[in-house]
Structure 1
Amino acid sequence: MDDATLKLGSVTITESTVSVVFEKTAKVIEPRGYVAIDTNERGLDLATSKGELLKYDLSELPRLH
């Protein structure tokens, strides 16, 4: 591997698989905002930390799919 920031985690060996876990520290970033999402059968509602309210009508989706 060419990525020096990766560290070897665990190695698990079973009869049919070998799992190798790598670890990498994630950068901490400051979010630009937040969003809350409410889903149901007929719609998708979103509220942002900037006060925006968005509604998406999904009632036709089962019929289209």
Structure 2
Amino acid sequence: MAHKRRKRREIDECNIYIRKQFQRIDNQAPTPQSLYLPIILVLWIPVIFYMTSFSKHCQLQS
């Protein structure tokens, strides 16, 4: 029984730690600068991918 109780306490400590990490993320979230960078990166990835595939297509044509 004691072993089970210890296991549960470890899980609780882990949950508390995760909650603290999420609160820290929430506190940082409102700043627009931190939101712009991932959005820009996500938007640029398909553009770059499209450009590289397009240039390869052009090279094959010529």
Query: Same fold, TM exceeding 0.5?
Result: no
TM-score (norm 2): 0.30
Q: Which has the higher strand share?
A: 1
Q: Which has the larger radius of gyration?
A: 2
TM-score (norm 1): 0.29
